[in-house]
């Protein structure tokens, strides 16, 4: 139950200042979409963000800095690295992006098993630093877990979510190609960035040697040819600077800050409250529904209650689990909606441990233009139609080719004009492949609240107990073998395979804990992301995932959120919520 020691500013009369039609917890990729859709439906909506405010352009301090303008040339100091061993491992983290990540001490957690939890606390959340990959799930990701007995049946199908995929793709802007691949359905695409000459060669060789493997343009949230809907958002063309994670002054990639939140604001129905750490969701025993959210100001530590008819939980998967677990009452002593005791369980992630790299001879008279912010993809080719491997699930392969710098060890001089001239010439071509593997949600992989340790706002710390299993190891072995074989058949040289053995978490694709399902005995959310036991609360971020699939999940979060928000708005109009 709520901590009675909190200094609470309870709005007993629920005045206009504290009462809304809807409350959205979190302002990231899914929270921004919840806000946009709810405001478009005319609902007075409050978005709660635990971090600081960020406004487009105004709060991108490094967006246009040159490399020599950084005090440490993009690197972090030794002291910083010693104080932040976790966050400094995150992909894309550096002196130019550090302002969009939290320091290790800012929000501690307990690692019962090693897990690298990467977070970005600001308006826009991790939508400011996401990888921007937008592959659709195929029908096989929705049916595979139940078909091959390694997971639970999803309560929705690909055909049900496909229109919402289109709805999201058109609004955010996704570049790619229509390839007719069963493992990666086509969508609403802008033109892609071109393959470079080495990528074209590798794609051709794979096609010649494998009938079931397709190296194609991936789908990325980059505006290659802005449409009217993007111009209405105030966004413009991606200029291929590949500095996305600093915040793009052109709005060339999708984020909540450039797109959904400003759109929602224009409706006049949006209120954003930063510095708002959500303590819990308030449940009314007599009304048998949630009536609001208790918030702790991150600066003053004062608690305030806000009220609404519906609540969307989009705090990012693990924080959403934390909030729900901490939302206790006489009716729900183990967390909101947690009658079956499954809240916090079946947490999963994507496996990013395996990679392969190689060198490519020739084509030294060719180069490429710009800094392509996208990369090709090899669609999943394992266990698609049936389970035919010694493991379950599949994997997406991200890959690409580049021309690196010249090998300094090959130069006769290391000083002077000749050295400078040599250093201005590119070296050999290289290529890489890395794995994004599906993992199995398991009862044993879970999060729970500490009984005796709390954070600086008096909220119990989250305990992480998540790890790999034998299925992951077998998938890694197959990926490394097959990837090396493909590059060899493509004519690549000096092929190296690598398993980095990193703990789960650096994929930043944590999922589950409050999963969707057809049966309230085995799941917490129904087919519209409603809590079975508290129907005016919706969970549409990664916490809702029934399984992980192998494709990047953010596009699905957005589609599920748009679908649930539309449903919630209609149910409110009917008087059902």
Rounded Cα gap, residues 99 and 187, in angstroms: 34
DSSP strand pairing (446-454 vs 534-539): unpaired
Rounded Cα gap, residues 93 and 99, in angstroms: 9
Strand, helix or coil at 495?
Answer: strand
Cα 343 to chain center, whole Å?
A: 21
**Helix or strand (DSSP H, E) at 447:** strand 446-454
Rounded Cα gap, residues 130 and 525, in angstroms: 26
Q: What is the pLDDT of residues 20-59, one digit of tens each?
A: 999 999 999 999 999 999 999 999 999 999 999 999 999 9
Which of 190, 154, 184 is CA-nearest to residue 169?
Answer: 190
Which of 492, 219, 537 is CA-nearest to residue 359?
Answer: 492
Please write down the HEC assignment for all residues of 135-180. CCCCHHHHHHHHHCCCCCCCCCCHHHHHHHHHHHHHHHCCECCCCC
Q: What is the pLDDT of residues 116-167, one digit of tens each?
A: 999 999 999 999 999 999 999 999 999 999 999 999 999 999 999 999 999 9
User: 390: pLDDT confidence band, cut at 50, 70 and 90?
Assistant: very high
All residues at 6 or more sequence positions from 444 whose CB lies less than 8 Å from its CB, including other chains: 465
Q: Is the pLDDT of residue 490 over 90?
A: yes
pLDDT at 14: 56
Please list the residues that pair with 283 across neighbouring strands: 290
Please write down the HEC assignment for all residues of 301-339. CCEEEEEEEEEEECCCHHHHHHHHHHCCCCCCCCCCCCC
Please list the residues that pair with 24 across neighbouring strands: 47, 312
Angle at 326 between CA 87 and CA 31, to 5 degrees: 60
DSSP string covering 170-239, please?
Answer: HHH--B-----BTTB-----BPPPPP-HHHHHHHHHHHHH-TT--EEE--BSB-SS--HHHHHTT-----
pLDDT at 235: 98
Please list the residues that pair with 9 across neighbouring strands: 304
pLDDT at 330: 97
Measured CA to CA in angstroms, residue 482 lies from 141, 478, 486 at distances of: 21, 6, 6
pLDDT at 420: 80
Q: What is the mean pLDDT of residues 391-420?
A: 85
**Helix or strand (DSSP H, E) at 50:** none
Please list the residues that pair with 313 across neighbouring strands: 25, 539
Q: Is the pLDDT of residue 4 over 80?
A: no
CB 340 within 8 A of CB 521: yes
Please list the residues that pair with 434 across neighbouring strands: 355, 398
CB 20 within 8 A of CB 307: yes
pLDDT at 430: 96
CB 124 within 8 A of CB 33: no
CB 406 within 8 A of CB 423: yes
CB 161 within 8 A of CB 563: yes
User: 15: pLDDT confidence band, cut at 50, 70 and 90?
Assistant: low
Q: Is the pLDDT of residue 2 over 80?
A: no
Which of 325, 284, 304, 274 is CA-nearest to residue 463?
Answer: 325
pLDDT at 5: 43
Please list the residues that pair with 175 across neighbouring strands: 190, 220
Which of 138, 128, 134, 160 is CA-nearest to residue 219?
Answer: 134
Q: Which residues of 178-216 are buried (b: 16+ CB within 10 A; e: fewer)?
A: eeebebbbebbbbebbebbbbbebbbebbeeebeebbbb
Q: What is the pLDDT of residues 234-245, one digit of tens each?
A: 999 999 999 999
Q: What is the mean pLDDT of residues 71-98?
A: 95
pTM of the model: 0.95
> 237: how many CB neighbours lie within 10 A of its CB?
16
pLDDT at 198: 97
Q: Quick one: tokens of 42?
A: 């005319």
- The residue with tokens 């009675």 is 4
pLDDT at 68: 94
Q: How many residues in the chain? A: 577
User: 6: pLDDT confidence band, cut at 50, 70 and 90?
Assistant: very low
409 DSSP 8-state letter: G
- The residue with tokens 């690598």 is 498
Mean pLDDT across the chain, nearest whole number? Answer: 95
Q: What is the mean pLDDT of residues 471-476?
A: 98
- The residue with tokens 């192998």 is 550
Angle at 553 between CA 550 and CA 555, to 5 degrees: 130
Q: Quick one: tokens of 504?
A: 């789960």
Query: Worst-scoring range by mean pLDDT, 20-29, 324-333, 400-409?
Result: 400-409
DSSP strand pairing (493-499 vs 354-360): antiparallel
């Amino acid at each position: 139950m709520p901590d009675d020691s909190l200094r609470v500013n309870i709005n007993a009369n629920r005045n206009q200042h504290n009462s809304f039609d809807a409350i959205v917890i979190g302002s990231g990729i899914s929270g921004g979409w919840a806000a946009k859709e709810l405001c478009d439906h005319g609902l007075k909506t409050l978005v709660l963000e635990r971090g600081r405010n960020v406004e487009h352009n105004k709060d991108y301090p490094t967006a246009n800095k040159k490399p020599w303008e950084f005090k440490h040339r993009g690197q972090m100091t030794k002291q910083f690295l010693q104080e932040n061993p976790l966050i400094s491992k995150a992909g894309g983290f550096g002196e130019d992006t550090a302002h969009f990540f939290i320091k290790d001490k800012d929000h501690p957690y307990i690692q019962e098993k090693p897990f690298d939890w990467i977070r970005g606390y600001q308006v826009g959340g991790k939508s400011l630093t996401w990888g921007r990959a937008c592959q659709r799930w195929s029908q096989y990701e929705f049916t595979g877990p139940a078909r091959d007995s390694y997971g639970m049946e999803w309560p929705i199908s690909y055909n049900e979510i496909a229109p919402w995929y289109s709805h999201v793709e058109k609004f955010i802007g996704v570049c790619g190609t229509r390839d007719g691949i069963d493992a990666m359905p086509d969508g609403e695409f802008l033109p892609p960035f071109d393959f470079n000459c080495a990528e074209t060669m590798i794609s051709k060789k794979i096609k010649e040697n494998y009938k079931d493997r397709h190296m194609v343009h991936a789908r990325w949230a980059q505006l290659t040819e802005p449409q009217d809907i993007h111009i209405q958002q105030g966004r413009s063309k991606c200029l291929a600077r590949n500095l996305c994670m600093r915040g793009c002054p052109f709005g060339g990639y999708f984020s909540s800050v450039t797109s959904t939140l400003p759109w929602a604001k224009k409706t006049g129905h949006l209120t954003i409250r930063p510095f708002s750490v959500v303590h819990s969701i308030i449940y009314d025993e007599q009304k048998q529904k949630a009536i609001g959210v208790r918030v702790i100001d991150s600066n003053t530590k004062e608690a305030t209650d806000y009220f609404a008819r519906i609540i969307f939980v989009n705090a990012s998967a693990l924080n959403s689990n934390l909030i729900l677990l901490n939302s206790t009452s006489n009716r729900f002593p183990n967390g909101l909606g947690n009658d079956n005791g499954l809240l916090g369980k079946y947490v999963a992630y994507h496996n990013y441990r395996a990679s392969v790299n190689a060198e490519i001879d020739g084509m030294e008279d060719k180069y490429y233009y710009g800094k392509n912010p996208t990369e090709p993809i090899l669609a999943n080719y394992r266990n698609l139609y049936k389970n035919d491997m010694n493991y379950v699930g599949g994997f997406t392969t991200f890959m690409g080719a580049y021309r690196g710098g010249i090998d300094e060890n090959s130069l006769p001089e290391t000083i002077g004009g000749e050295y400078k001239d040599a250093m201005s010439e590119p070296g050999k071509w290289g290529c890489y492949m890395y794995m994004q593997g599906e993992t199995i949600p398991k009862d044993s992989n879970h999060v729970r609240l500490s009984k005796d340790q709390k954070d600086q706002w008096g909220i119990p710390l989250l305990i992480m107990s998540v790890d790999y299993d034998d299925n992951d190891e077998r998938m890694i072995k197959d990926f490394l073998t097959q990837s090396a074989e493909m590059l060899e058949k493509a004519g690549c040289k000096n092929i190296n395979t690598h398993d980095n053995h990193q703990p789960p978490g650096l994929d930043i694709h944590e999922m589950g804990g409050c999963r969707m399902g057809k049966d309230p005995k085995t799941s917490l959310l129904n087919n519209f992301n409603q809590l079975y036991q508290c129907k005016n609360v919706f969970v549409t971020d990664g916490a809702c995932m029934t399984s992980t699939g192998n494709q990047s999940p953010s596009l699905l979060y957005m589609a599920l959120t748009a679908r649930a928000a539309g449903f919630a708005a209609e149910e409110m109009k009917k008087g059902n919520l």
